[in-house]
Amino acid sequence: MKIFVTILIVLAVVIVILLVIGLFTKKEYTIEKEVTINKPKQGVFSYIKLLKNQNKYSKWATMDPNMKQSFIGTDGEVGFVSAWDSEDKNVGKGEQEIKKITEGERIDYEIRFIKPFEAKAISYITIEAVSEKQTKVKWGFIGNMNYPMNLMLLFMNMEKMVGNDLNIGLTNLKGVLEKQ
């Protein structure tokens, strides 16, 4: 009985320490990756402005070829929503909405995850001309984990997890655009 009580006390102390650490742990993470595409800026922007085109280059869009998709609004305009629903737990259910477009420069999205967990994230794509025939594309992702879930950021490498997916998407985008 004394060992059981000691184990419970140690466990309670560890939990309290973790909860205190969580108060001082960051809640937001930002990941940004980039690629240079051998195409003029306007052509690159015209392509990425259409959210449906992410189905051709985003790693996330290709994870479940059987997922159901639906669209609301006019693609390439603020307010357009692309929704997905998948039985694959790695894909889940959610939607992405174009929130702001700075013509020729940047597109901002809000991603709303519904299943397997509820969360919101911000994503953006920026482009800039490197030369007349080269364009730098940056794809960023800003996520937030509220307390006490932010403790997971101590044990998860979000840069590696999300960053690898962004790199795959950008490499795919480069391939698609440079073949055109």
Cis geometry, peptide bond prior to residue 40 (ω within 30 degrees of 0): no
Whether cis (ω within 30° of 0) applies to the bond prior to 116 is yes
The pTM (predicted TM-score) of the whole model is 0.83
- Residue 39 phi/psi, 5-degree rounding, is -150, 150
Per-position pLDDT tens, the chain of length 180: 889 888 888 888 888 877 777 777 778 888 999 999 999 999 999 999 999 999 999 998 888 888 999 999 999 999 999 999 999 888 899 999 999 999 999 999 999 999 988 889 999 999 999 999 999 999 999 987 777 776 676 777 777 878 899 999 999 999 999 998
Q: Where are the domains of the chain?
A: 27-179
Q: In CATH terms, is domain 27-179 a member of 3.40.50.2000?
A: no
Phi, then psi, of 131 in degrees rounded to 5: -155, -175
The tokens describing 121, both together, are: 């994230």
Helix or strand run (H / E) with residue 122: strand 119-131
| Rounded distance between C-alpha atoms, residue 142 and residue 171, angstroms | 20
Torsion of CA 150, 154, 156, 160, to 10 degrees: 110
8 A C-beta contact, residue 125 and residue 106:
yes
Count CB neighbours of 46 within 10 A.
13
